[in-house]
A and B are shown apart, each in its own frame.
Chain A
Amino acid sequence: MPKILLVEDNEMNRDMLSRRLEKRGYTVVLAVDGAAGIAQAKAEKPDLILMDMSLPVIDGWEATKQIRADAEIAATPIIALTAHAMSSDREKCLAAGCDDFDTKPVELPRLLAKIEEMLKKGKTPPA
């Protein structure tokens, strides 16, 4: 079953999302800040990362950049999660190296659709 790394500092959000993803059969590993997120990505080699953008220690944009810079894990698809639905945030996420973008509060069916699409794509290495 695909392994998803959820990087989220808010405890409730982390709990809800991880439980609902697990319920749908995904293996979920967790990280509470950007630095932990990078470490987990290296240690766990997840199939996909759900990255909150406003994180302590290292924020989501910076963490994404560092992951993209690390050859070992650079190909991992990343979906950014942000509370701000501003178009500039979306631009920023994509510029930082995220593959997709979703807004919080999470609408589970929409997010699941994105996850599945991304996992399918992730099988083929990026050109």
Chain B
Amino acid sequence: MKGLPFRWKLTLLIALISGVTLALAFVGLYVNDLYQFRSDIERRLETTRSELQQRITPLLEQNSPELKGSLQFLANDSLTEGAALYSSDKHLLDEYRRFGSAPISPSSTQIGELLNSNNGIILTTIRKNGHELGYLYLKAELTENERTRFSNLLRGAGIIFVISSLIALIAGYRLQGTISEPITQLVDAARYISEERDYSVRVPQHATGEIGELIASFNFMLGTIEQRTSEMALARENLHVSNLQLEDANRTLEVRVEERTRDYREAVKAADEANKAKSGFLAKMSHELRTPLNAIIGYSEILLEDATDEGNKAVASDLDKILSAARYLLGLINDVLDISKIEAGKMELYIETFDIQKLIQEVASTVQPLVGKKNNTLYLDCPAEIGDMQADSTKIRQMLFNLLSNASKFTEKGGITLSVARDPDGLHVIMKVSDTGIGMTPEQIGKLFKAFSQADASTASKFGGTGLGLAISLQFARMMGGNITVESTPGVGTTFIVRMPLQVQDITHRLVEVDPAKISIGTRPPIALSKLAPPPDHSPCDVLLVEDDPPTRDMMARILEREGWKVRTANNGQHAIDVLEQVIPATVILDLKMPIMNGFQFIDHVQTKAEWRQVPIFVFTSMDITQDIRERLAGRTAGIFQKGDHSRDDIIHHVQEAVQAHLTAQKNKQT
């Protein structure tokens, strides 16, 4: 039944329902008919019995011989099949039997049992005045009557059943057109769609009612799916086109990035080589120039001594001029050599501990003749209790000499003051060189520390000098983790302020002998600077440079390496964390915008470990440094720089100063 098509199901269902209904109706009819027939038989049998009883009762009373044959008149009655009359002592008095019937009269012993039977059989006790006269037995002709009626009924019912079944089949077939046909079409359409994925077909809308609604909904659904499918296909097509474009753009970009990187690398390499060649050339030239110059100076000195001894003043004066010109030239060559050494990263520090006041006194006595030339007075302000400092004394001397000779060059009949004091922070010493000279405008100050640039050309011709002294002094100061700043008012005077750490670490060698594990737990021993260990192969890094852009990373790493720093690089925050797990750097230079883990997340992560928190972080970003960014990073970085806003020197200096402070603080913690 389950596997049958819908139309046959429907037809069979109708046939089954009508069959069952008809069968039930037939059974009901039969039962009713049977009941009516039985009661009719009984009623007629009862009538016969009462007639018989009236007739027989007087005969029984009189015990008349007519009793024999008294039942024979029942032959006129078609109903009665048989009858028997018994005396009160159950003796058979008369008997009637229809022709052909089997003897039916019950034996005298059966009479009692038959008394209550009612199946077309009556057994009556005949009484008169409460006196038992005898028994009457009657049996109705049932079988033939009943069989005829039943077969008639069955025939009728059979005809009705066949007709109604036919009607059911016809109705089922007809109904198929209205119910099963649309459903079949729906099924066919669904099958076709599921097999062909063709959402453009529609089921014909013939039916009404629920099936009609079903088809309408199905068609609507198909419409929606078709629309979605076509939209999706369109979107997919667009996506494909976009992907192709993107791929194309990527390829172009990659090629361009590659080209740029190559160009950039070549340019950097060329610049590097050019710079090295220049430095090498200058160093060689300086040496070549110095040898004959030494001879000039030496022989001039000999001749000057002779002339002075002989009292030949004119010759002595001329020789003095030759000597000062040669010494100036030697100074110039030495400055050039210094600058080229600094640029080539070959300038070394010789760090020792010395008494500050003693050094100041020596510088003052050296510079005294120079100060006196233009009738200037030198004032010294250096407390005796200022104590020692640890630095490269030759370079400090040179710096102060440069600043003082500079001051005396631009001051006439004025005062030059050299004052020295400890910074209130207890970690630095501040040396100030003030003059009452011509002063400078802000524009002039801006160019002041650049090599080969004096405030202006006319100044150079009027006052002489190479303009290298200040540049060298600033470089020296920065090499030692210090700085030089300047305050000036045109016509009033200039003050140069040298701020130097009291404990200078030799940055160029500083970390090579430091065990990174020791840094992290803060027990790094003070470095014996006069006995610097040769750098081991597995030197830890000074700077962890976190930057995702390869050209920028290369450039920064190169700059830092040229300054003598050991650089580790990472291309995102996560990578930087991996590096931190291995080695704790002296400082971190951090880009903010990076993939995987950006700078902000990195800084958050760094806060999780005490030993990481101590590492100063410098942020270098091309992002706009808004107040919001400053607040987000507040207290967690050592400095925030806008990329491109700061000179190379500036950056290096800041980083150096921070590392210096960091190391000094650590050292103080130990003691």
Contact = CB atoms under 8 A, between A and B. Distances in A.
Contacts of A12: 294-295, 298-299
Contacts of A83: 287, 290
A91 B509 CA distance: 15
A42 interface: no
B654 to A, nearest CB: 26
Given A13-B295, A87-B349, 19 more contacts: A12-B295, A13-B298, A16-B295, A16-B298, A17-B298, A19-B302, A20-B301, A20-B302, A20-B305, A83-B290, A87-B350, A90-B350, A91-B530, A104-B294, A105-B290, A105-B293, A105-B294, A106-B298, A108-B301
B291 interface: yes
Given A83-B287, A83-B290, A104-B294, A16 B302 contact: yes
B399 interface: no
A5 B464 CA distance: 41
Contacts of B348: 86-88
A37 to B, nearest CB: 21
B330 interface: yes
Contacts of B290: 83, 105
A91 B298 CA distance: 27
B431 interface: no
A10 B298 contact: no
Interface string B283-325: 0000100110111011101100100000000000000000000
B294 A13 contact: yes
Interface of A: 10, 12-13, 16-17, 19-20, 23, 83, 86-88, 90-91, 104-106, 108
A88 B295 CA distance: 26
A50 to B, nearest CB: 14
Contacts of B293: 105
15 contacts: A12-B299, A13-B294, A13-B295, A16-B302, A19-B302, A20-B298, A20-B302, A23-B302, A23-B305, A83-B287, A104-B294, A105-B293, A105-B297, A106-B298, A108-B301
Contacts of A108: 301
Interface in B498-551: 530
Contacts of A13: 294-295, 298
A16 B299 contact: yes
Contact of B330 (A10, A20, A105): A105
Contacts of A87: 348-350
Contacts of B298: 12-13, 16-17, 20, 105-106
Interface in B311-351: 330, 348-350
Nearest to A23: B305
Nearest to A91: B530
Contacts of A23: 302, 305
Contacts of B301: 20, 108
| For the complex of A and B, 5 pairs with smallest distance between CB atoms | A87-B350, A16-B298, A105-B294, A12-B295, A87-B348
A36 B520 CA distance: 56
A91 B662 CA distance: 29
Contacts of A20: 298, 301-302, 305
Nearest to B306: A23
Nearest to A90: B350
Interface in B369-388: none
Nearest to B506: A87
B573 to A, nearest CB: 40
A127 to B, nearest CB: 21
A105 B301 CA distance: 12
A108 B330 CA distance: 16
Contacts of B305: 20, 23
B575 to A, nearest CB: 37
Residue of B294, B301, B305, B530 ringed by the most chain A CB atoms within 10 A: B294
A103 to B, nearest CB: 10
